Structure 1
Amino acid sequence: MASAGEQKQTEAKPAFMVEDLISLALRIGVIISSVITASGLVLLLITGQSGYPAGTFPTTITQVLAGLIQLKPFAIIEFGLLILLATPIFWVAASIVAFLLRRDYSYAIISTYVLLMLVLSLLLGKAA
């Protein structure tokens, strides 16, 4: 039969594993975002053109994706920034799962509230 200390250690191990995975995902998200944004910047410097008429740039996700397919520098830069913005939102969503796995319902509820506020702010920002 396992002692209380051993049982606590085995319960803590999956929690650390989840936190390590979330940390890795955050680092990967930032690295991917940096590489994409830098690629767009290099393309902008090489071509000297944004891919859009003067004073305009993509303002919707659909326009960013369409410009990304056409390899327009501004669209590539904006796509990298969108990934950077999505990374902490992913972290909050992953934290909810981690808290639920730990059966820490108070923090799961708080994290759910934070995620809802993030999504609401994105939707309200889009409407403005």
Structure 2
Amino acid sequence: MATQKEQQTHTEMAQVEKSIGVILQIGVIVSAIIIGIGLLLLLFTGHSGYPAATFPAHFSTIFRGVIQLKPFAIIMLGLFCLILTPVLRVVVSIYAFAKEHDHLYVIITTVVLIILLFGMVLGYLDI
């Protein structure tokens, strides 16, 4: 028989797993909507908002372009949101493992998060 504490932990983990699933679904849906808006704007205007063969690649350029309703900037914002969705999942997983007192997986998942963030920073810096 499982103890009360084990049952509570199991229930909490089930809730965390459900939350992770909801986060992933919402992230994908929001990203798809943003990308769809950018594609529709591109279709209706007939131009990307940028000179030929260029697109916004940095956060500041993307956000300025979104404010100016440039289709490629809106599409890039959607892609950025899509990339952040699994990163958020890793953050929630760290919390879940910490809640379970599973220190090994907290360390492993934290290393994964650091690698993801390091890769994002390197990409941002064009390295």
Asked if these proteins are the same fold (TM beyond 0.5), I'd say yes
Provide the TM-score with structure 2 as the length reference: 0.93
Say if 2:14 is the partner of 1:5.
no
Runs of 4+ in 1 over 4 A off after TM superposition: none
Q: CA RMSD in A?
A: 1.2
User: What is the CA distance between 1:46 and its match in structure 2?
Assistant: 0.9
CA distance in structure 2 between the aligned counterparts of 1:124 and 1:76, rounded to whole angstroms: 22
Number of the residue aligned with 1:87: 85
Number of the residue aligned with 1:97: 95
SS in 1 for 2:2: helix
Number of the residue aligned with 1:30: 28
Provide the TM-score with structure 1 as the length reference: 0.92
Gaps of 5+ in 1: none
Number of the residue aligned with 1:44: 42
Number of the residue aligned with 2:60: 62
User: What is the CA distance between 1:54 and its match in structure 2?
Assistant: 1.7
One-letter amino acid of the counterpart of residue 18, structure 2: D
Gaps of 5+ in 2: none
User: What is the CA distance between 1:6 and its match in structure 2?
Assistant: 4.7
CA distance in structure 1 between the aligned counterparts of 2:123 and 2:64, rounded to whole angstroms: 22
User: What is the CA distance between 1:5 and its match in structure 2?
Assistant: 1.9
User: What is the CA distance between 1:55 and its match in structure 2?
Assistant: 2.2
One-letter amino acid of the counterpart of residue 36, structure 1: I
CA distance in structure 1 between the aligned counterparts of 2:61 and 2:92, rounded to whole angstroms: 28
